[in-house]
Structure 1
Amino acid sequence: MRWILGKPHLIIVAALMTVVLGGYAYTKIPADLLPQFDTPAVQIVCFYPGMPPEVMEKDIMSRLQRWTAQSVGIEHQEAKAMQGVCVVKDFFAEGVSNAEAMAQVSSYAMSDMFYLPPGTIPPMVMPFDPTASVPLCLVVVSNPEMDEQELYDIAYYELRNKLQSIRGVIAPAVYGGKLRRILAYVEAEKLEAYGLSLMDVQAALRKQNVLIPAGSIKIGQQDLQIFTNAIPEKIEELNDTPIRVVDGVPVLMRDVGEVKNASQIQSNIVRINGARQVYIPIYRQPGANTIEIVDRINTQLSTILVRLKNERSEDPKMTSLVLSVAMDQSIGVRSSIRSLQVAGALGALLAGLVVLLFLRSFRLTGVVLLAIPLAIIAAFLVMYFTGDSINAMTLGGLALAIGILVDQSIVVLENIVRHARMGKKPVDAAADGTSEVLGPILVSTLTFAVVFLPVIFLSGLTRFLFSPLAIAAVVAIFASFLLSITLVPAYCAYFLPAINAEPQSAESAGPVNDWFSRVLRGAIAARWMVLGGAILAFAAAVGITQRQGQELFPTVDSGQITMYVRLPSGTRIERTEETMKEIEAAIIDLIGQPDPAYALDPDAEEHPNSALQLLISNIGVLMDWPAAYTPNSGPMDAFMLVQLKNKSSTDAVESYVGQLRESLSKKFPDVEISYDTGGMLTAALNMGEPAPIHFQVQCSDLEKAQSIASIIRDTASGVPGATDVRIAQRIDYPALQVEMDRELAARMQITPKDVMTNLVAATNSTINFEPTFWIDKNKGNHYFFGVQYLEEDLNSEQTIRDIPVMGSADATRRLGSVAKITRTQGPAVVHHRNISRVTDIYAGVLP
């Protein structure tokens, strides 16, 4: 100990190095709400446009699951199949790296392509973070002068790629808008009059819109490239395409319909503050930081906007284009971290006041308080090298350790002062006083550290949550221990104030010590009463604990409400939108008008007294990339994001939810509505599930599974405190069953392929099975080109029966003459866990 006291400069330099390096580390450590969860997972998305969910499940999804399940280290699988799309999620055990998981799954998924049905789009493989199911923010694309098709084009072809270039960002899909298509709309009556079918039109147009590279030719001394107009520059030219010659007269495209710059039948609508708009959700890559990503987007969004306007400066509409960030989750993260930082600083300040009260010396109090920031800075330095972030758990661990940080220094300091009062010199008092209590303080430090030892035996979510807390607390307490046996005695050896050599008498010990001495004597005299009181207090505490609710994490004020809305199965998207309009109106009546910043109306007024900032309704689902990132499973589903202003409190949020639950259930008795107020934190703790309580029925028979799930739902609904209990899957989605009479069709020289191609062409367009591209030379984008009926013409089952079908006999027949059409029903979505069908029941908890 005397050797340490003889090296004061070494101690000062070590402390300064800790401050400099720790301060630098603090600026580089990422900040987030929760620690990074090391849960490697890989997501596979596969498409086959128009394929029914059960066929998608059996022919594609199950195969991908079986194939990728061979990956080493895989823990379990989750999957869902919807119309035309399936999503398989492979979860790996702890310790498997993301790179290894991606490599294995990619390899197996690609090798399975040979066994998938012909026409299957190759599966896309990407990393997946189950704790980051909520987007960090939404980038909203709005322009009052543009329609939904133009907004979607900008978001999909131009903005999305620019956002993907930002480090740590995943911008996978575009929600809302209309997908531009070049469609030849035909009329059934005219086709029948000319003896044509939709496939005749498709074949003729396909020959007129050809994408074949012409190469080059060598003429003389030159090598010349060959350009052609095989793809028409203007889509109107295709209306002059001859379909067939009838009685010596060519039948042109314009005689049976019209080729238009149109859009795919809309299956996803986004409404932002009452207006149809478009947004791109921003997710984080595994290991990325929430605050850094949002900061980068906010910084670069203005630059991206300028680039977009410059690239399309010839379009006057671009001047009104607006890019904005909505539903920013980093606001809540920053607020939570700031609150913990303030709480820690306040705790340190109060600890300092208590120390000053008892030591009655600013000089001695200063050295004790110096241990707190130095120990915390040392903890930041270790966190930097271990890869931890500044989050609620690490800050909580540091706040937990603050009281212990000053305790060690106080013990050393008090003993040094006691030795000084014996008449020893400051150096001797520092050496003897520190050596005397070195053992006890080391034991107390080890005791504190041992408390966190069981953390190493935790697994799963609790391990990722509490390991950083334990590391931060233990590192800080050991740093404090080193400071208490180095910095404190060195300070006292040189700066200890003069102290009377005579020990203080009992009379001069101070009023606090006098009071404590009297209380202590009384307690010793009535020791059995004190012991009995302690036992009773312990028993009472145990009893109260048994009656208290238990949560992994306390309720957090996210300032957001997420509403999941489901209408009767098969409801058209237009009807769902009308219902969402009514729900939006009910929310505005309750909370107030939203912020006009996201409104397309430039004359919208501000409402300072309103607590509502933003309303976003996402209706239906586009059976493409967005299907992998939405809770919706069909046109009857929608979810609404309600963003409140910062002044709203947790109690206010829950009050709004309670009032909405009561009023909307009465107004829409046939609509299933559930609520979530936890935001990003709850989604992370629930591992991406939409509710904290999750039951699962594993059964291959969907009807039997629904029956069992209904019993669970009804039972759980009766449990006090349970709310929003619902079954995730439905099996009553209305459908049409087309049963072909193969023998009769064969007599008419019509094959099942003739029936299917004309049926699909009429209802969904030929793009589903025979896609053709048309290239817009002005924008450089390619768009699908196909043939179909007008959407408004598909208004009855009779329209389906009247679809003209032509076989090899060169004569048209109506589809109803070779097929029987009946009503049936089936699932809108099929879920799997480890290749077995499951039915999910979710339940929320009342506050």
Structure 2
Amino acid sequence: MIKELLKRPIGVTMSVIAIVVLSIVAMGYLPVSLMPDIDIPQITIQVSAPGLSVREVDNTLLKPLKNQLSQVAGLKNITAEARADAGAIYMDFEPNGNIDLIFIEVNEKLDRAVTALPKDVERPKVIKASVTDIPAFYLNLSLKSGAPREPGKPREAGIDFSELGQFARDVIAKRIEQLPQTAMVDISGVVTPELLCIPDYTKLTSMGVGIGLLENAIADNNVSLGALSIKDGQYRYSIHFDSRIISKEDIENIYINHDGRIYRFKELCEIVERPAKRNGLVRSGADPAVTLAIIKQSDARMADLQESIAALITDLEKEHPDIRFELTRDQTQLLSYSIHNLNSNLLVGAVLAALIIFLFMKDLRSPVLIVITIPLSLVITLLVFHVLGMSLNIISLSGLILGTGMIVDNSIIVIDNIFQKWRTGLTLEDSIARAVGEVFTPMLSSVLTTCSVFLPLIFLSGTAGALFYDQAMAVTVALFASLLAAVLVLPVYFYLMYRKLSPDTENRFMSKLFTFNYYRPYELGLKWVLRHGRLMMICFILLVPLTYFVYRMVEKSRLPEISHDDTILTIDWNSGISLEENDLRVYRLLAQVDSLILQSTSMVGVQQFLMSHTREITPSESVIYMKAKDAGKLVQVERIISDYLASNYPKARASFQVSGNIFNMIFAEKGSTLVAQLHSKEGQAPTVEQVTRVVDKIKKALPGVGIPPAVMEQNIRYIADVEAMAIHEVTFNDVYGKMKNIISQNTLFRINQGGYSVPVTTGDTQAETSDILSGKVRNRHGIEIPLSMIIRETKGEDFKKLYSGNGGDYYPVVFDVDDREVGQVMKTVEEVVREDQNFFVTFTGEYFSSRETIRELIVILLVAISLLYFILAAQFESVIQPLIILSEIVVDIFFVLFGLWLFGESLNIMSMIGLVVMSGIIINDSILKVDTINRLRKSGMSLLRAVFIAGHSRLKPIIMTSLTTILAIAPFLNRVDMGSDLQYPLSLSIIIGMSFGTVVSLFFIPLLYYVIYRKR
């Protein structure tokens, strides 16, 4: 077959061109994204219950829902979190399930459970986690000239800012949503108006009436009557009554008839239009802002959305010069920067590989031939990507870069073997045919062994297994493409380039420049190893316990550390402060790091977003996004803020998290290192006193461990004197209505203004807690009764949040400690809890999940080695020779673990995958060497001579293939973006393994072969 191809170079060329053209066309249709499109097996149920306390939400709503939802198939973990006015249930499922069908089942279970809930509770929202939940951008709008700022205080939102919010919602958001790449725009920070009716109590009292007169007048005049139909001759008309209140003037002009006298509403009540009371706000830097979360269409390309948004913002800035437009948390920058760096690494790796080939071959034609196979293999791989429906992302591109070094291996082996056959005196045509046929079987075996190590990765639990499917497919397809290119395409062009040359043709300049004879030191080293075989075997045996010792020393984590220059700070001030005080504290906090950050967006209090991309917080909490000047400055920012909070607000709980992106959504460690869950032995939610007592004991037992304070909230409870109410003939509705009037929360109705509604409320302009008991309520006889005579005030403290999980109610105690301290901390906590006798404790946290992942990967490594053994046993028809080859992995694993410890890198998913991949790559050299020794022995050569001749003939291809693989992934060692950070431990593992594995393949494998077969 090879000889037939040599005679048809034009046919081969046309076939290659056709494949390249198809691949280039397919590349235009490949979606480009940060991460592969995979299902996230998480569902969240959000419950809204205004007016309910934290314990009422937990007992009345969450517990019935959780009991019903616990029956959903495939459920892995369920956690309920209750707080005042709202609650949430978080459900994690097994990764292999169909999340769409699970979503339907969850809704069915929820519909059954809703019947047991109070009737006035809205149906809970069911939210399926998706990669499209994360906005592509956040666009902050603020006024360039706002209200004047007082020293030491943030700028207040003036009247103009209220108009900015309406403009952002009605104009800017609509303009953005018109872009074809935009799915929706979510908005927060808008200030809406409200109409406040302030009664003239003096005049009402003189009339002998209460505020009910005003409320009834509004209700009587704000009616919607149905249409009537009337016939007039041969025509029929519809008659409509227009009696809706739609403006401030309509309310002022309501007429009230009291005791025969007509009053206009504005004579008895002042109507004030003002900004509605806010539970939250947004600031861009120190200025009031409106923030828009821009969510892209699932099938849209990020680059297209970025171009459209940039053009639109340019136009908006020209049209509205008084508005500042600031784009933050730009996901497209992360994507384009990571993709650009990965493309650069791919190019640098290919150039370095070509340079190595040029130095060793001392010929310009051979590198050209080999370099041709790289783009050819890559474009074929991209064509297969299109067929399989895969995308270009940092995982699949990393797989391509990993495969680049291995792509050239097959070409190097083919070219080197052709030269060896050609130098024996055969014709060029016969040399090519025989050389290709001779190495095809071991090359196919090498490709299969390399690909087989990826197969067990599908058993990796969680989304990690699904994610690295892209990397496995990229390497697998690239290797098979390179094998076909090396066997079918390369021989044709080799024949065309060398048919008029001799086999000893070398570049004169390179022959003079690169004169190092690496055969001589190799022969000396091999002789020394064979003479000291017993010492080498003892060292090999000692590596087994040393490997376990180093494994215990290496730090373990789930994922490698990803460098970043932005962060999200979440603060719970752990006190019942007002929104204004919360805002002031955040302003003073950011002033501490103003010189170190480029951007900041503060979301203070409750936000108005409709979707769940931003964490739900209360008026006493804040979420702050900060972008530092670089990663080093971010470390300073986090340290300064932590010290500031510890010294000024010791009760506050703060946590730093990586700014939301798709990678962190899928893989981020969402919990702390260790969490002790305190369960009451009585089976109920633990009380504040019980938790406080046992947590104080834990703090005393662990003085060096920082334990966050319990998050509490102060509650004011009003207890009615039922007997006094009966005596004075006052009902609960009378008391409740009066209290709502005092605090201006008695909403009568809402005026619909299109995209928003204006509430109409009654009450006073300002009210404090003390004003409630000083108020008076009118009974059925018109007598005003002081509220202090029928209700009394008490204050108490309770948990701000209540938690429950698979094991029932619990209180979480969080420990952020080093992995090495976890065992002692757990032992101490168990002793304290055992002495207290009110609780039993269970432990969760990232410490356990990271170790579970490492254990899974160790099993995967053993499975991969077993697969390698089966493949090698089938190839060599021997049960001993595969063991000779696989013994190399034992040595390589020791040096990889030692290297990770030496360079301060943890043992994580990526470094373990590097170990697995390295195991499949490194034995390729040994496979070729053992195969060559076997062929030489079959030809009648002695064992010792076969070992030396095989080592001599395979020395150059082994060194070249190792160097090209190492240099192709070496650019990953420059950690400048997420892609490089993610692949750094994988690359480091492979480079260390390949470096030491090449030495083992050159010296130890021949020794082991010789020791086993010298007496046979």
TM-score range, shorter-chain basis? 0.7 to 0.9
Structure 1 position 448, deviation (Å): 0.8
Task: Find the counterpart in structure 2 of residue 138 from structure 1.
Answer: 138
Which letter maps to 2:763? Y
Q: 1:414 aligns with which of 413, 416, 426?
A: 416
Q: Please tell me whether residue 361 in structure 1 is matched to residue 346 in structure 2.
A: no
Structure 1 position 805, deviation (Å): 3.3
User: C-alpha separation between the residues in 2 aligned to 1:219 and 1:841?
Assistant: 78
Q: Please tell me whether residue 757 in structure 1 is matched to residue 730 in structure 2.
A: no
Structure 1 position 407, deviation (Å): 1.2
Task: Find the counterpart in structure 1 of residue 428 from structure 2.
Answer: 426
Q: Answer yes or no: is the 8 Å Cα contact 1:184–1:257 preserved in 2.
A: yes
User: C-alpha separation between the residues in 2 aligned to 1:165 and 1:833?
Assistant: 43
User: C-alpha separation between the residues in 2 aligned to 1:104 and 1:56?
Assistant: 24
Q: 1:150 aligns with which of 163, 169, 185?
A: 163
How do 1:82-231 and structure 2 match up within 5 A? 82-109=83-110, 114-129=115-130, 135-143=135-143, 144=145, 147-157=160-170, 159-160=172-173, 163=176, 171=184, 173-186=186-199, 195-214=208-227, 217-226=230-239, 228-231=241-244
Structure 1 position 187, deviation (Å): 6.2
Q: Please tell me whether residue 741 in structure 1 is matched to residue 721 in structure 2.
A: yes
How do 1:820-831 and structure 2 match up within 5 A? 820-831=792-803
Task: Find the counterpart in structure 1 of residue 568 from structure 2.
Answer: 562
Task: Find the counterpart in structure 2 of residue 616 from structure 1.
Answer: 601
Task: Find the counterpart in structure 2 of residue 49 from structure 1.
Answer: 50
Identical residues among aligned pairs (%): 20
Task: Find the counterpart in structure 2 of residue 683 from structure 1.
Answer: 664
Q: Answer yes or no: is the 8 Å Cα contact 2:33–2:393 preserved in 1.
A: yes
Instruction: Encode CA deviations 1:131-159: one digit per residue, 9 max, x unaligned.
Output: 77764421222334663432333344555
Which letter maps to 1:570? G
Q: Answer yes or no: is the 8 Å Cα contact 2:280–2:604 preserved in 1.
A: yes
User: C-alpha separation between the residues in 2 aligned to 1:634 and 1:181?
Assistant: 22
CA RMSD of aligned residues (A): 3.9
Q: Answer yes or no: is the 8 Å Cα contact 1:195–1:811 preserved in 2.
A: no
Q: Answer yes or no: is the 8 Å Cα contact 1:735–1:826 preserved in 2.
A: yes
Structure 1 position 408, deviation (Å): 1.4
How do 1:385-396 and structure 2 match up within 5 A? 385-396=387-398
Larger proportion of helix:
2
Q: Please tell me whether residue 571 in structure 1 is matched to residue 589 in structure 2.
A: no
Q: Please tell me whether residue 657 in structure 1 is matched to residue 638 in structure 2.
A: yes
User: C-alpha separation between the residues in 1 aligned to 2:484 and 2:751?
Assistant: 72
3-state SS, counterpart of residue 337 of structure 2: helix
Q: Please tell me whether residue 783 in structure 1 is matched to residue 760 in structure 2.
A: no
Q: Answer yes or no: is the 8 Å Cα contact 2:9–2:492 preserved in 1.
A: yes
Q: Please tell me whether residue 773 in structure 1 is matched to residue 750 in structure 2.
A: yes
Structure 1 position 433, deviation (Å): 0.3
> How many pairs does the alignment contain?
794
User: C-alpha separation between the residues in 2 aligned to 1:304 and 1:219?
Assistant: 54
Task: Find the counterpart in structure 2 of residue 549 from structure 1.
Answer: 555
Task: Find the counterpart in structure 2 of residue 35 from structure 1.
Answer: 36
Task: Find the counterpart in structure 1 of residue 280 from structure 2.
Answer: 268
3-state SS, counterpart of residue 35 of structure 2: coil
Which letter maps to 2:432? A
Q: 2:708 aligns with which of 694, 717, 726?
A: 726
Gaps of 5+ in 2: 147-158, 507-513, 819-903, 905-1016
Which letter maps to 1:407? D
Q: Answer yes or no: is the 8 Å Cα contact 2:186–2:294 preserved in 1.
A: no
Which letter maps to 1:773? R
Structure 1 position 394, deviation (Å): 2.0
- 1:296 to 1:77, Cα distance in 2 relative to 1, 3 A: farther
TM-score calculated relative to the size of structure 1: 0.83
Instruction: Encode CA deviations 1:628-670: one digit per residue, 9 max, x unaligned.
Output: 554463222112211134xx2x333223323443355334444
Instruction: Encode CA deviations 1:711-741: one digit per residue, 9 max, x unaligned.
Output: 778888845xxx7x536x72x3112112223
3-state SS, counterpart of residue 437 of structure 2: helix
Q: Answer yes or no: is the 8 Å Cα contact 1:734–1:824 preserved in 2.
A: yes
Structure 1 position 619, deviation (Å): 1.1
Q: Answer yes or no: is the 8 Å Cα contact 2:589–2:641 preserved in 1.
A: no
How do 1:171-570 and structure 2 match up within 5 A? 171=184, 173-186=186-199, 195-214=208-227, 217-226=230-239, 228-242=241-255, 245=258, 248-249=260-261, 253-283=265-295, 294=306, 297-298=309-310, 320-496=322-498, 498=500, 500=502, 511-530=517-536, 543-570=549-576
Instruction: Encode CA deviations 1:283-330: one digit per residue, 9 max, x unaligned.
Output: 567787766655554455567889xx8xxxxxxxx6634544222133
User: C-alpha separation between the residues in 1 aligned to 2:230 and 2:43?
Assistant: 48
User: C-alpha separation between the residues in 1 aligned to 2:699 and 2:659?
Assistant: 22
3-state SS, counterpart of residue 219 of structure 2: helix
- 1:832 to 1:662, Cα distance in 2 relative to 1, 3 A: same
User: C-alpha separation between the residues in 1 aligned to 2:117 and 2:203?
Assistant: 39
Q: 1:701 aligns with which of 685, 700, 724?
A: 685
Q: Answer yes or no: is the 8 Å Cα contact 1:198–1:787 preserved in 2.
A: no
User: C-alpha separation between the residues in 1 aligned to 2:250 and 2:543?
Assistant: 90
- 1:164 to 1:410, Cα distance in 2 relative to 1, 3 A: same
User: C-alpha separation between the residues in 2 aligned to 1:52 and 1:172?
Assistant: 32
Which letter maps to 1:552? R
TM-score calculated relative to the size of structure 2: 0.70
Task: Find the counterpart in structure 2 of residue 666 from structure 1.
Answer: 647
Q: Answer yes or no: is the 8 Å Cα contact 2:196–2:271 preserved in 1.
A: yes
Q: Please tell me whether residue 58 in structure 1 is matched to residue 59 in structure 2.
A: yes
Q: Answer yes or no: is the 8 Å Cα contact 2:133–2:612 preserved in 1.
A: no
User: C-alpha separation between the residues in 2 aligned to 1:278 and 1:618?
Assistant: 10
Q: Answer yes or no: is the 8 Å Cα contact 1:182–1:784 preserved in 2.
A: yes
3-state SS, counterpart of residue 511 of structure 1: coil
Which letter maps to 1:264? A
User: C-alpha separation between the residues in 1 aligned to 2:122 and 2:395?
Assistant: 43
Task: Find the counterpart in structure 1 of residue 873 from structure 2.
Answer: none
Task: Find the counterpart in structure 2 of residue 639 from structure 1.
Answer: 623
Structure 1 position 543, deviation (Å): 4.5
Which letter maps to 1:786? V
Which protein shows a greater Rg? 2
User: C-alpha separation between the residues in 2 aligned to 1:298 and 1:362?
Assistant: 47
User: C-alpha separation between the residues in 2 aligned to 1:630 and 1:713?
Assistant: 33
Which letter maps to 2:165? Y
- 1:674 to 1:365, Cα distance in 2 relative to 1, 3 A: same
User: C-alpha separation between the residues in 1 aligned to 2:133 and 2:555?
Assistant: 27
Structure 1 position 443, deviation (Å): 1.2
Structure 1 position 125, deviation (Å): 3.9
- 1:682 to 1:36, Cα distance in 2 relative to 1, 3 A: closer
3-state SS, counterpart of residue 244 of structure 2: coil
3-state SS, counterpart of residue 726 of structure 1: coil
3-state SS, counterpart of residue 492 of structure 2: helix
Instruction: Encode CA deviations 1:750-807: one digit per residue, 9 max, x unaligned.
Output: 332333333234435233xxx622134xxx4452433233352x1133x112444345
